[in-house]
Structure 1
Amino acid sequence: MAEVAFVGGRVVTGTGRIVDRGTVLVRNGVIERVDDDPYVPEGVPVVEADGRWVLPGFVDTHTHIGAHEDGEGSAGADASEVSAPDMSAVRAIDAINIDDRAFRDALAGGVTTVVVKPGSGNPIGGTSVAMKTWGGRTVDEQVVKHPVGMKSALGENPKNSYGERGQLPRTRLGVALVIRRALVAAGEYAARRAAAEEKGEFFARDLGQEALAAALAGDLVWDQHVHRHDDIATALRIADEFGLRLVLNHGTEAHRLADVLAERDVPVIFGPVLCTRGKVETREASVDNLVTLTRAGVRTAICTDHPVVPIDALVIQAAVARRAGLTWDEAIAAISSSAAGIAGLGERVGALEPGRDGDVVVWSGDPLELGSSVERVHISGREVYRAEGGVRVVADRWGR
């Protein structure tokens, strides 16, 4: 595993700590030390970071990168499998093309970890995967955690995905019904499985119900695509009925229930921030709503929903949130430590702390200043990206 030390830069840990002229030592691909001691063990390569900013790789917790490369209907549109309303058995990992150019763009934007989710065409869309943005010949070699959560959708998108007359869902009532029926069936399935296992009897597996049973058991987060406040209320209602670990995705009108979400510790993956009010559900879209949520004590992250907003614009969205009223630390945390924590990845990524993966990005200056740029990216200590003299060099994932 790779070893490297970053010495002399302004080290921003992502957890509120800043070390001027600090050292980040990575050994065996893992951060060993973050302090102001310039000592580096013999044989460890050194990156001189004087005058530079050293940060953790950013984390985007809601993307379709690699699974939705082009426009709807194209060869690269694999994010949503809408052949049935309940597609809990499908897995986003099976749709990802790691040769998607967006992975290179992610490096240029300092993004080293992404959560790739199914789309929002179904009431239940399937499981998500967390992965590094570079480093392997296959998706499997880049996985951080799989599965991460179960994607579900409320509102207009799942209502409008099915054109046949009489086929569910056609209304918000129908969408909620699909979700409830599936969760009831999964609970009954889990009980039958447990009884069969206790008796040592054979039990036929069902992939979808296995995944939903994992969500019922709390092993997966319940990632709820939702915009309107009334749909958020439905999400809370369903989460209460079935004991789900609810995480709101988008949360356009979540600020209306900010106190409730804070009290119940329901996180919000907010965004995308750089987006038009292009549909009826997003008429109140505003970065100010993110500030309201954060001020109320809601745990928040910022997402691109790539390709809705390009993945390398994640940090630009954080800068916009900073201008709207987030503190500098809050804006950085929303794309690093807070984002990682919401996705259940906090033990590995999102911060420069001992024991975390050595995902380190060297910036020319303050990353929330638009004039700053990424100069180097290391993932698990390995250099995967460098920009010098206007030339960008990305490591060859094929080992050539």
Structure 2
Amino acid sequence: MTDAVAIVGGRVLTGLGDEFEGGAVLVSEGRIEAVGAHVDIPEGARVIDAAGCWVLPGLIDPHSHIGAHEEANGPAGFDGSEVSSPVTAGVRAIDAINIEDLAFRDALAGGITSVVVKPGSGNPIGGQSVAIKTGGGRSVDEQVIVPSLGMKSALGENPKQAYGERKQLPSTRLGIALVIRQALFDARDYAERRDRAREEGAPFAVDLGKEALAAALDGTLSWEQHAHRHDDIATALRIAEEFDLRLVLNHGTEAHKLAAVLAERDVPVIYGPILSSRSKVEVREADPANLARLAAAGVRVALTTDHPVVPIGLLALQASVAVRAGLPRDTAIAAMTSAAASIAGIDDRVGALEPGRDGDVVVWTGDPLDVASTVREVLIEGRTVYAAPTGAGHEETA
């Protein structure tokens, strides 16, 4: 008796650039054991015939609000931004996620098995993101990849609007940068006093917000910077250099204007969403070709739906649009798999069909960049969590 499952006979794309026509993926005990054109299948393994299909790693959306901005639940389901204060570094996105959000079903139907859920962009410093699987658990805690992954920060129009309407700091770009810098200076001072108290065995009052910011200062948490306009991106680079932050740009509408600088400093960009309208001034130059320009300059890129801005199940469609605008198809596949995992810091677990990584595998009816292709079956850690029957409709299997 074995718990192994083998997906055989399909066109296997590993997410790392390798392809095997008529290949196989073997998953055992929830992890990938073997991938290639010739894989020995153990006796008793469950076999999934993928002949005529494409087999890929589970896709990753590294910037979403799934479960925190719930589908079809109105204001009762909006828990993404704690805008009662400009700095809410202590809040954690995991505490806002409703695992029964309908969007998780849509994610699986779109081949997405991992997401990074982030606080919203109403605050200069919004709180901590979480990486989770999109299915397979009885609660969100059973789907966690990393409970606190990064620190969300926002520049530009959103925090300006949120606090400008109240006529309080920060109401301008100057004020936003001030709030961020002051919070980081305060956290640095806090960490020094905390460490000194520990050395001396003295009592010390814990501040959860400053603890989280201290983790960003020491590089434990990435600095996830919401920024669209080139001047905001320049500010993000400036602050990251001042405090030695591990910067990841989110959205990056005008990041192509600083592509050479981003490439030199190895600052990755989680780009998008691509399918949304130019709904505000700072995205007036939105163009999927900008993503191709970033990649051509050597910037590491991933794709985001920013769900619910764009429905999460349309991640692969966004990749198709990016390819039409000039992004190489291998780069587009990586932007939803291996590169997305690397940028998010979860590539030890997900993002590629490679021995040792989680057995998150998606069987597509055809090329996932072809809009006519659909997801036939999704496995998370070797267990089928979604299956679409032949014909219209679909059903989930727990």
Distance (whole Å) between structure 2 residues aligned to residue 311 and residue 164 of structure 1 = 30
- Alignment-mate amino acid for residue 297 of structure 1: G
Distance (whole Å) between structure 1 residues aligned to residue 64 and residue 223 of structure 2 = 16
Cα deviation 1:187-209 (Å, max 9, x = unaligned) = 00000011011111221110000
Cα deviation 1:231-269 (Å, max 9, x = unaligned) = 101000100110000000000000000000000000000
Note if 1:303 corresponds to 2:304: yes
Aligned residues of 1:31 and 1:353 also touching (Cα < 8 A):
yes
Distance (whole Å) between structure 2 residues aligned to residue 2 and residue 149 of structure 1 = 34
Distance (whole Å) between structure 1 residues aligned to residue 73 and residue 216 of structure 2 = 29
Indicate how the Cα distance of structure 1 residues 197 and 273 shifts in structure 2: closer, same or farther if over 3 A, else same. same
Distance (whole Å) between structure 1 residues aligned to residue 119 and residue 286 of structure 2 = 23
Cα deviation 1:273-316 (Å, max 9, x = unaligned) = 10111100001000011000000000000100000000000000
Indicate how the Cα distance of structure 1 residues 42 and 109 shifts in structure 2: closer, same or farther if over 3 A, else same. same
- Give the % identical residues: 66
Shift of 1:392: 1.3
Aligned residues of 1:70 and 1:77 also touching (Cα < 8 A):
no
Distance (whole Å) between structure 1 residues aligned to residue 363 and residue 224 of structure 2 = 32
The residue number in structure 1 matching 2:322 is 321
Q: 1:185-196 alignment to 2 at 5 Å?
A: 185-196=186-197
Distance (whole Å) between structure 1 residues aligned to residue 95 and residue 332 of structure 2 = 32
Shift of 1:71: 7.9
Shift of 1:73: 6.6
Shift of 1:140: 0.5
- Alignment-mate amino acid for residue 222 of structure 1: W
Distance (whole Å) between structure 1 residues aligned to residue 379 and residue 9 of structure 2 = 17
Structure 1 residue runs of 5 or longer lacking an equivalent are none
Aligned residues of 1:3 and 1:382 also touching (Cα < 8 A):
no
- Alignment-mate amino acid for residue 204 of structure 2: F
The residue number in structure 2 matching 1:215 is 216
TM-score between the two structures when normalised by the length of structure 2: 0.98
Distance (whole Å) between structure 1 residues aligned to residue 165 and residue 75 of structure 2 = 22
Q: 1:155-166 alignment to 2 at 5 Å?
A: 155-162=156-163, 166=167
Distance (whole Å) between structure 2 residues aligned to residue 4 and residue 374 of structure 1 = 18
Which contiguous aligned blocks of 4+ residues in structure 1 show a shift greater than 3 angstroms? 70-73, 163-166
Q: 1:255-294 alignment to 2 at 5 Å?
A: 255-294=256-295
Aligned residues of 1:78 and 1:95 also touching (Cα < 8 A):
yes
Note if 1:203 corresponds to 2:207: no
- Alignment-mate amino acid for residue 394 of structure 1: E
Distance (whole Å) between structure 2 residues aligned to residue 164 and residue 65 of structure 1 = 27
Note if 1:395 corresponds to 2:389: no
- Alignment-mate amino acid for residue 149 of structure 2: V
Counterpart of 2:185 in 1: which secondary structure?
helix
Indicate how the Cα distance of structure 1 residues 30 and 70 shifts in structure 2: closer, same or farther if over 3 A, else same. closer
Q: 1:236-385 alignment to 2 at 5 Å?
A: 236-385=237-386
Counterpart of 2:348 in 1: which secondary structure?
coil
Shift of 1:337: 0.5
Query: What is the count of residue pairs matched by the alignment?
Result: 396
Note if 1:127 corresponds to 2:97: no
- Alignment-mate amino acid for residue 200 of structure 1: G
Cα deviation 1:215-242 (Å, max 9, x = unaligned) = 0000000000000100101000100110
Q: 1:166-177 alignment to 2 at 5 Å?
A: 166-177=167-178
Once the two structures are overlaid, the 10-residue window that deviates more, 34-43 or 136-145, is 34-43
Distance (whole Å) between structure 1 residues aligned to residue 228 and residue 350 of structure 2 = 28
Counterpart of 1:255 in 2: which secondary structure?
helix
Shift of 1:395: 2.4
Structure 2 residue runs of 5 or longer lacking an equivalent are none
Distance (whole Å) between structure 1 residues aligned to residue 157 and residue 169 of structure 2 = 13
The residue number in structure 2 matching 1:93 is 94
Shift of 1:162: 2.1
Counterpart of 1:305 in 2: which secondary structure?
coil
Note if 1:113 corresponds to 2:88: no
Once the two structures are overlaid, the 10-residue window that deviates more, 110-119 or 164-173, is 164-173
The residue number in structure 2 matching 1:228 is 229
The residue number in structure 1 matching 2:9 is 8
Aligned residues of 2:71 and 2:103 also touching (Cα < 8 A):
no
The residue number in structure 2 matching 1:26 is 27
Counterpart of 1:160 in 2: which secondary structure?
helix
Distance (whole Å) between structure 1 residues aligned to residue 93 and residue 100 of structure 2 = 16
- Alignment-mate amino acid for residue 396 of structure 2: V
